[in-house]
Structure 1
């Protein structure tokens, strides 16, 4: 690709629908060459935000730009931005090949692009079939092929893993990584957090239309202290030892006893726990580090008993 890099910049973005504020003073950026996960509970404002970035919804306030320009200011936008907001927007009686040919003609893209994408998206064997016969996974692939007709540098994908089986999710993970490695800017909204954790480089989390957290996934580790699972027949005595710690201040931040009698310890590494137990002549049968998952972080940061407005 010879296209320049395009950065998505959202600044003070706000959208109100009557008395409901769907997006509230939201600011974040999405960098080229990485996959950014756009996370939040259902109704948090993710789709509304993506539609504002694409010029499909007019903001009440704020701006959303791609490469420094609003979507409506882009020349030949389908060659810069590809989007999948609805993976079922196909004429049921069109074949996959006919569907892509129509959109290729509308966008003025090279004729060879259709066959190239059918092959790259693994749809060549089904190119003649009516889209109404397609599985959810095949529709997701066809939606991606449609978005890529203009060979865009920016991709916005709303819940692209919805309805995919494990094989399809693994394929999507590899495919999006290829796109990012090509230098494209990739924004993916999803609530399938276990999959997001395996694929994204950066994270933008929102709740009720406001920013909760943003940044590289690796930096989210500071929000996710590791927990060590400890099983011991001397659990109660060990709990006291871990909380008391050593004379030089090495002690657990917290020790909780689970319903199964196991201890969950924060603030100490496995080696430190083993040393403290040994010094106190207490038995330990198991030590296991449990990293807090992105899903746990998500629920911790977005928990709201009142729910989300939109």
Structure 2
């Protein structure tokens, strides 16, 4: 990625009282949230929750019934150079079947006023150089996703809106995408991802916005979404004594909670692993393993949305 587009500063997405009705159906109902630059935000909700409708309102594909979405304080149609500001990936099938990958990108580069040299740069970046002359009708779902991402990146945008970007990617492609998105966020770009693959969101997202039936359910940093500190899994032959120690001598400033999950295993909320190990050593208690446990996004999602899978 070039650095020139970053001279315009970081851009925040702000949705305010966003509502969209299709006849008698309210697809999005009074949504309000922000997507911060330099971070990856996961946009989650059950099928039909209104995620894609919301994202399409961000780039003017759908007009809100009321409320607004701004990008850097401006609505999409007010941006001086929209395709160099926002890149969006929605439909992995939106290619002319008789166009080659290179032809497709050249058309969109010309439409956006981007240099033709950007096409080969992105074909290489997306590992599509070998398929550059192939017609898109023969592309796999994963290749279509990479070509779609290349299209979104033609203007080297500071904001990325990605709807199910890992769909169809193999494990290597998914790992590459995760690393690539972290790189983009590290450059100060604003990244919003809608996905049903909760494990992927848990690995890549900094923040999470959760909606259900078009309404806001939660919006918070992922680490805070559970309302508690991450747990530590403790493996110790002295597990019973460790549990008593924590109950009888809680850490200052911590709300310590202990759950027995096996004969020699505990799940502990509150202290960090290093502090817990130091306290156990001071009491001459054996600790054979300490593993930080991140919040279970799937469990949180089901609890927040009332969904069943």
| Same fold, judged at TM 0.5 (above) | yes
Query: Aligned residue for 1:246?
Result: 248
Provide the rounded CA distance (Å) in 1 between the counterparts of 2:164 and 2:99. Answer: 24
Provide the rounded CA distance (Å) in 2 between the counterparts of 1:291 and 1:155. Answer: 26
Query: Aligned residue for 2:111?
Result: 106
Q: How many residues align?
A: 298
Provide the rounded CA distance (Å) in 2 between the counterparts of 1:180 and 1:244. Answer: 39
Query: Aligned residue for 2:62?
Result: 57
Q: Which 5+ residue runs of structure 2 have no aligned equivalent?
A: none
Provide the rounded CA distance (Å) in 1 between the counterparts of 2:162 and 2:19. Answer: 21
Q: 1:248 to 1:218 in 2, by over 3 A?
A: closer
Q: Which 5+ residue runs of structure 1 have no aligned equivalent?
A: none
Provide the rounded CA distance (Å) in 2 between the counterparts of 1:13 and 1:54. Answer: 13
Query: Aligned residue for 2:299?
Result: 296
Residue pairs, 1:15-30, within 5 angstroms: 15-30=20-35
Provide the rounded CA distance (Å) in 1 between the counterparts of 2:251 and 2:144. Answer: 58
Residue pairs, 1:134-149, within 5 angstroms: 134-149=139-154
1:157-193: CA deviation from partner (whole Å, max 9, x where unpaired): 1010111111010111121122222222111111211
Coordinate RMSD, CA, aligned: 3.3
Q: 1:4 aligns with which of 5, 8, 16?
A: 8
Provide the rounded CA distance (Å) in 2 between the counterparts of 1:224 and 1:191. Answer: 25
Q: 1:133 aligns with which of 120, 134, 138?
A: 138
* TM-aligned CA deviation for residue 218 of structure 1: 3.3
1:50-82: CA deviation from partner (whole Å, max 9, x where unpaired): 011111111121110111111122233112111
* TM-aligned CA deviation for residue 112 of structure 1: 1.1
1:3-26: CA deviation from partner (whole Å, max 9, x where unpaired): 413221101111122332221111
223-232 vs 243-252, greater mean Cα deviation? 243-252
Residue pairs, 1:198-277, within 5 angstroms: 198-220=203-225, 222-223=227-228, 225-226=230-231, 228=233, 245-246=247-248, 253=257, 255=259, 265=267, 267=269
The TM-score normalised by the length of structure 1 is 0.81
* TM-aligned CA deviation for residue 266 of structure 1: 5.2
Provide the rounded CA distance (Å) in 2 between the counterparts of 1:180 and 1:248. Answer: 38
Q: 2:183 aligns with which of 178, 184, 197?
A: 178
Provide the rounded CA distance (Å) in 1 between the counterparts of 2:102 and 2:178. Answer: 24
The TM-score normalised by the length of structure 2 is 0.81
Contact 2:55–2:161 (Cα < 8 Å) also in 1: yes
Provide the rounded CA distance (Å) in 2 between the counterparts of 1:32 and 1:50. Answer: 16
Provide the rounded CA distance (Å) in 1 between the counterparts of 2:298 and 2:53. Answer: 23
Q: 1:228 to 1:149 in 2, by over 3 A?
A: closer
Structure number, greater radius of gyration = 1
